[in-house]
Amino acid sequence: MAIFNGSGVAICTPFKEDGSVDYELFTEQIEYQIRGNTDAIIVCGTTGESACLDHDEHLEVIRHCVNVVNKRIPVIAGTGSNCTDTAIFLSKEAQKIGADGLLLVTPYYNKATQRGLIEHYTMVAKEVDIPMILYNVPSRTGTNIQPETAASLVKNVDNIVGVKEASGNISQVVKLMHLTDGDIELYSGNDDQITPLLSMGAIGVISVLANIAPSQTHDIVATYLEGDVKKSARLQMDAVPLCNALFCEVNPIPVKKALQLQGRDRGVLRRPLCEIEPEHAELLEKTMKEYGVL
């Protein structure tokens, strides 16, 4: 059984003006997602600024999310690292805390070979019992999980069950699905490619857009899975301008500004991320109004 089908939000981590985690606001964001029919929460991913959380904060944010959600929907913890030992530590601790699954980005900066990726992910998987989703985002990490590598891991390691595919390369996704005979939990990692990947056998999305439009993102997936492909495609196309605006600067700068515009974020970004450029903020506000989320 899949960890989840549908829309999983790559949830932001809200900070106070002094830079500390705002757990009160985080609780509000989690409840907003559940009310908006989000199907899973992915905590401490890229959008959650995990790279700027120390280990204690990282685990406390996961713990808080698990406790607030309280089994109402699955919680998937981002526990990837450029260091295998660190990924193992975070993954084991996230399992102890009660996460339902793990999301592990490819080791960044080190730029592992494909054999290195197989060894890295296999070593992590041996230390935990909960399902793992590989996260392929070469634009951020400098490393691409080749379809053959992902297929080998899913076939040969029991608790490696799927891939969040954010390469943007549809041909690569098609090859992955061919090599696995579709027996893989595939999630779109790009909000502008949800319906196209669903047509290739994906079962959902891990979404930035869902932070500000949870119901709309859920519906893109739900309508497709219910058999209304045309409606899903229309909803997908309607969302494209906002998807583009949310990536006018590096994620999560625009989405945190969008949350501020909605009155659901009041803190700062952690350096080296900085405030959005004024012209991009104007574009974002305009696009959010046109899409009906502001």
Grouping H, G, I as helix, E, B as strand and the rest as coil, residue 166 is coil
Q: How far apart are CA 6 and CA 54, in angstroms?
A: 30
Q: How far apart are CA 260 and CA 274, in angstroms?
A: 14
Under DSSP, the state recorded for 249 is S
Catalytic, 187? Answer: no
Catalytic, 164? Answer: yes
The residue from 32, 121, 164, 187 that is catalytic is 164
φ and ψ at 264, to 5 degrees?
Answer: -120, 15
Task: Confirm if 10 and 47 have CB atoms less than 8 A apart.
Answer: yes
Task: Confirm if 105 and 73 have CB atoms less than 8 A apart.
Answer: no
Helix H or strand E segment including 93:
helix 84-97
Grouping H, G, I as helix, E, B as strand and the rest as coil, residue 98 is coil
CA proximity to 246, closest of 202, 268, 213, 224: 213
The residue from 16, 71, 121, 135 that is catalytic is 135
Q: How far apart are CA 202 and CA 184, in angstroms?
A: 8
Query: Hey, which residues are catalytic here?
Result: 135, 164
